[in-house]
Structure 1
Amino acid sequence: MAMVQDVGEFLRLVLILVLIPLVLLKVGRKASGNGAGQLRLPPGPWRLPVIGSLHHLLGKPLLHRAMADLARRNDAPLMYLKLGEVPFVVASSPTAAREILKAQDVNFASRPWTPTLRVMMADGKGLAFAPYGAHWRRLRKICVLELLGPRRVQSFRRVREEEVARLLAAVAAEAAAAAAVNVSERAAVLITDTTVRAMIGDRFERRDEYLEGVTEVGKLLLGFSLGDLFPSSRLANLVSGTARRAEASHLKMFELMDCAIRQHQERKAASMDRGGGDDDILDVLLRIQKEEGDDVPLTMGDVKDTILDLFAAGTETSTATLQWAMAEVARNPRVLHKAQAELRSKLRGKATVDEDDLVGVSYLKLVIKETLRLHPAAPMLIPRECGETCKVLGFDVPKGANVLVNAWAIGRDPGHWDEEEAFKPERFEGSHGGLVDFRGIDMGYIPFGSGRRMCPGVAFAHAIVELALAALLYHFDWELLPGGGELDMSEEPGVVVRPRKDVRLRAVVRVPPPRAGEEGAARRCP
C-alpha cells in the first residue's frame, strides 16, 4: 500500500504542497483542528491544515512500518491521523485490536467506500469490500458453507497435488542444470494455477495478464490516491488520474472474467460429453445466481466480483507466504534442517508427499505460523469503517473514520512476544503457543484478521502452502547462492507485501520427485 502510486503522482503532490502557504492565508482554523467537536480523539502526530498528517508518511512507502513507527513515537497503541480530508484510526496493539475486531466487531464491520472503490465496484459488490448488510451476509454464508468450507477445500486435493508435482519437476530440472531456482516465480505459478483450477476447473492461459491486472487492482483499491484522500476536491481527482485508471482496470478485469467464464463453459460442455465432472467454485456461484425466490439476489456482476475477490485473496497472500517461508528457512539452516529431518523421518524415502503424510507433521506447521507472525501477507489487513461514534480504550472513534489494524506491528509487539524479531518456530510449542492458531482468537496473532470480516479462505490458503512447503523441503536441500551473501529481506510496498527482490536459491535433489504429467493445460479464449 504505497502513499504515492508513482513518481508522476509524487510530483503532482509536491505541486499541491507548494500551494499550501497560499491556502493557509485563507484558513482560519488552528493546525490541530479536526472538526470533531469535543470528542476525545486518540493521540497521534501533529497535523497541518488541509493535508493533516500526510507529511509524516511522505517518502515512507511501507505503510505498516511507517504506522508502527508513528504509534511507537507517540505512545499510541490506538492512534488518530487525518490524511487529507479523511480521518484514520490505527490499532497497533493486541488490546486495541480486540476492541475493534471482537468486542465492537459489528460497529466496525463495514468497509470504507472510497471514490476509487465506487468505480471499481460499479457492476457488483463482491465479498471483500461489500458493505455490511444482507448482501454481504449472504455472500459470506455462501463462501463459508459452499465455496471455502472444509469439504470443498478437500475436494480440490487432487488439483493441489498435481500442481505441486509440476512445481517439483520444474525445480528438479533447474537443480540438475545447477541453475538458480527463482522461488518467487515458481511460487506464483503454482499458487495461481492451483487457485484458477479450483475457481474455473482449468488453468488460464491469460494467467500473466490476469496477475498484472490483480496487482493493479490492489494498488487502486487500497492505495492512498489524492482523489481518495480529498474526495470533495475535483482538482485532486483530476490530478491523480485514479478514476480513469480505476475505470480502465475495471473494464479489463471484467473482460478477463468473461474470457474465464467462456473457457469454463467450454470445459463443462466437453466434460458432459465424457460423462460429467466435479463442480468448481464458479459452478456453485452460477447455480446460486440462477436460483429464484431469494430476497438478496446475486447479479452476474456480483459473481464476477466474488471470483475476482477470491482469486486475488487466494493467489496474492499464499504466494507471498510461500516466498517468505522459503526465504526464512534458507537463511536459518537450523530451522531448515529440523523441518527436513521431521519430514524425511516420517516419509522414509516415499516417492511423493501427499496430504495424508502431513497429518502427524508438527514442526512444519510451526514454521508456517512463525512466517505469518513475522510476515503477515496483508500487514494492515483490509480497512474497516466506524459505523457510529464509540469509545475504544477510553478514546472516541468518530463515525465514518477509516480504521486500520496493524497486524504486522501486533505480531512484533515486544510486550506480547519474546525476541520478537527472531524467526523461532518453537515459540508456538507448549501449553500456550500450541493454542495459538489462525482463527483470530489470540489478538496477538491475527495474520488473517478476526471477527466477522476475517478472511474466509484460511483453510484454502493453508492447504496449498503447507503441501508445497513440505514437498520442497522433503525433495530438495536448499542453499543460498554462492557469493550471493545474505538474502535481501526488504519488502515490496503493496496491499499484500512480498519480498522486494525475487527469492533465488540453489536446490540440490535429495529425494527425486516423479515426473509430472501435462494434463489440464489451459485453452485459449476465443
Structure 2
Amino acid sequence: MFSLQILQSCPLPLLTLAVFIFILNAATKIIHQSPRRRRRLPPGPPAIPIIGNLHQIGELPHRSLWKLSRKYGPLLRVKLGSVPTVVVSSPEAARELLKYHDLQTCTRPAIARASRLSYDFADIGFSPYNDNWREVRKICILGLLSVKRVQSFRYIREEEVESLVETLSRHSVSGKPVNLSEKLMSLAITMIFRAGLGMSSHGIKKNIERFRGLVDEGGTILGRSSAADFFPYVGWIVDWVTGLHRRREKCFHDLDEFYDDTIRNHIQNKNKEGPEDIIDLMLNMGREQQLEVGDEWNHIKGVLMNLVLAGTDTSASALTWGMTELIRNPRVMKKAQTEIRNRIKNEGMIKEEDLEKLEYLKMVVKETFRLHPPGAALIPRKAMSEFKICGYDINPKTRIEVNVWAIGRDPSVWKDPEEFFPERFIQNEIDLKGQHFELLPFGGGRRGCPGIHMGLSLVELGLANLLYCFDWKLPEGMTKDDVDIEEVFSLSVHKKVPLQLVPVKYNNSS
C-alpha cells in the first residue's frame, strides 16, 4: 500500500524512468541468471534447509553415499550442511576428474582448525596446491618416499616382519588365539617410526603403548568430521558443546610435544650414522632455504602428521583386511600358501627380492585393496573454477569426493563385486598405482598418495611371511561364516571387531 502511494504521487516522466529502470534491472538479472538456470547440475536427493542431506549420511559415509549413488547415478550432488558436494562413484567420472580436471581441483576444502596449535601445522598436508606445498611434496617423493629411498629401508621392514614372526611363533606354542589386528598395528607403527623418524626398534617397543595411543587418537580425530566443516559460521559452537574442540586440542598438543621431542633429538644427534630419514631431509632443506626455526619446525610437523598417522593407519588396516578375507576364503589362502611355499623353498623368511616371484600374492593384495581400500573416499577436493564431468556442470567452490570404495564395487566393472576373487586379475592390466581408475586405493593425479611404495612394500612383505611361516586357524567353535567384517570409520576404514586367529607354526624343512 505504501509503495502504491509513492507511485501515485510521482510525476509521469519520473514514473516512466522508474519503470524503465525496473525493466532494465529485471532483464539484466534474467540475462545473468539464465546461464546458471541452463546449467546441468548432477542429480541428487532433495536437501532439507540448513542441514542439507546430512540426515542421509550414516556412521559409514562411504556406504551411505554409495546407496544414494545407486539411486541417482555415479555423479551425485548432495549438500552437506551449507557445503555443496559432488560425489564421484564410477571409473569414468573419476578418470575425467583426476586426468582432465586434476589441476582445477587439486586444492582442498578448508577444514576446521580447533586451535592456534592445529592452525600452525596440522593442515599443511591438506593445504592449497601452491609453491610451498609442491616443494614439501617434492621432498617427500624424491626423499623418503621415492622407490630408491623405500628400497634403502628394506632391511628395516625385513627386521620388523621377522620380529613379528618370532613373536607369533612363541605364541603358537600355547595354541591360543592372538589379536592379529593389534600385532599388525604395532608392526606398522614400528616400521614407520624407524624409517621415517629414525627411532630405534628398542625405543619404539618400550613406548609402544604411548605411540599406539597417539596414532589411534590422531587417526580418530582427523577422520572425524567437524560441525565447523559444514557450518562455517556457527559450527564451532557445536564443536565446543560436544567436546570435540577440547578433544582435538589435547590430541594436537600431545602430538606437538612428541614431534618437538623427535625433531630436537635429531638436531642434537645430527652426526648420527645410518641413512637419512625425512626429518633429516627437511632439516637440511630448512637450512638451505634459511627458514626461521618456527617455520622450519612447523613444516616438518605438517609432514610428520601425514606420515605418522596416515602411514601407520592405512598399512595396518590393509594387512588386517587381507588376513580377514583369507581366513574367510580358505581356497584362496591355500592357493596363496602353495605358491609361496613351492617357489620359496627352505627359507627361514621371505625377503623382498622374493616378492616378484609371487604373482598370486600380488593378486590377493590387489583384491584386498579393491574390497577394502584403507581410505574409503579420497581426501576431498575443491573446484577452483567451473568445468564439466560426464556432461554435468561443476560450480566453483564445490567440494568433490571420490568414493573409491564404491568404485571397487561397481558391477559394470567387476563381476560378482562382493566376492573375494583374486583370479579376476589374471591377464588383467588394471593396477593400483593411480593409472587405472577402476582401482584407486592410493588416489591419482597430483594428490595421489606419495607413500604408495612404502605402503605396498610393507603389505606384500607382511602378508607373504604370515602365509609362509604359519597355517592359520579360527578360535575354537568359530567357522569362517562367523568372522565379523563390520567396519568402523576413522582416518581409514578399520575392522570393527579385532581379528583373532590361532597361528600354527609351519615346518618348512619338510
Partner of 2:486 in structure 1? Answer: 490
1:128 partner SS: helix
Query: Is the aligned partner of 1:336 residue 2:337?
Result: no
Deviation readout 1:392-448 (Å, 9 max, x if unpaired): 222222211211100000001000111111111111111xx1x22122111111111
Deviation readout 1:284-340 (Å, 9 max, x if unpaired): 121112213689x96210101201211112100000000000111111111111111
Partner of 1:226 in structure 2? Answer: 227
Partner of 1:253 in structure 2? Answer: 255
Deviation readout 1:430-482 (Å, 9 max, x if unpaired): 1xx1x221221111111111100000111001111111111110010112222
Equivalence map 1:125-524=2 (5 Å):
128-202=125-199, 203=201, 204=204, 205-233=206-234, 235-265=237-267, 268=269, 272=272, 276-292=273-289, 299-430=296-427, 433=428, 435-485=429-479, 486-511=482-507
Partner of 1:30 in structure 2? Answer: none
Q: CA shift at 1:130, angstroms?
A: 1.8
Q: CA shift at 1:281, angstroms?
A: 2.0
Deviation readout 1:158-216 (Å, 9 max, x if unpaired): 11111011100111111111111211011011111011000122243443333333333
Mapped partners of 1:96, 1:179: distance in 2: 48
Alpha carbons of structure 1 residues 258 and 294: separation in structure 2 relative to 1, 3 Å = closer
Mapped partners of 2:240, 2:118: distance in 1: 20
Relative to the length of structure 1, the TM-score reads 0.84
Mapped partners of 1:222, 1:428: distance in 2: 31
Q: CA shift at 1:501, angstroms?
A: 0.6
Q: CA shift at 1:279, angstroms?
A: 1.7
Partner of 1:70 in structure 2? Answer: 68
Aligned partners of 2:77 and 2:84 also within 8 Å: yes
Aligned partner letter, 2:152:
S
Percent identical residues: 39
Mapped partners of 2:508, 2:276: distance in 1: 33
Mapped partners of 1:207, 1:413: distance in 2: 39
Mapped partners of 1:181, 1:82: distance in 2: 44
Q: CA shift at 1:220, angstroms?
A: 3.3
Structure 2 unmatched ranges of 5 or more: 1-34
Q: Bigger radius of gyration, 1 or 2?
A: 2
Aligned partners of 2:217 and 2:251 also within 8 Å: yes
Aligned partner letter, 1:68:
W
Query: Is the aligned partner of 1:84 residue 2:86?
Result: no
Aligned partners of 1:491 and 1:498 also within 8 Å: yes
Relative to the length of structure 2, the TM-score reads 0.87
Mapped partners of 2:508, 2:168: distance in 1: 11
Aligned partners of 1:412 and 1:420 also within 8 Å: yes
Aligned partners of 1:126 and 1:306 also within 8 Å: no
Partner of 1:93 in structure 2? Answer: 90
Alpha carbons of structure 1 residues 507 and 239: separation in structure 2 relative to 1, 3 Å = same
1:299 partner SS: helix
* Pairing partner for 1:111 from 103, 108, 112: 108
Mapped partners of 1:131, 1:393: distance in 2: 25
Q: CA shift at 1:222, angstroms?
A: 4.1
Aligned partners of 1:225 and 1:240 also within 8 Å: no
Aligned length: 466
Is 246-255 or 325-334 further displaced after alignment?
246-255
CA RMSD of aligned residues (A): 2.2
- Name segments (4+ residues, structure 1) moved above 6 Å: none
Deviation readout 1:333-382 (Å, 9 max, x if unpaired): 11111111111111212122211222211111110000000000001111
Aligned partners of 1:349 and 1:511 also within 8 Å: no
Mapped partners of 2:208, 2:395: distance in 1: 42
Aligned partners of 2:346 and 2:508 also within 8 Å: no
Mapped partners of 1:118, 1:98: distance in 2: 37
1:502 partner SS: coil
Mapped partners of 1:512, 1:504: distance in 2: 24
Aligned partners of 2:144 and 2:196 also within 8 Å: no
Partner of 1:53 in structure 2? Answer: 53
Alpha carbons of structure 1 residues 95 and 260: separation in structure 2 relative to 1, 3 Å = same
Mapped partners of 1:201, 1:169: distance in 2: 23
Deviation readout 1:90-115 (Å, 9 max, x if unpaired): 00111111121111001110111122
Aligned partners of 1:217 and 1:249 also within 8 Å: yes
2:323 partner SS: helix
Mapped partners of 1:293, 1:130: distance in 2: 22
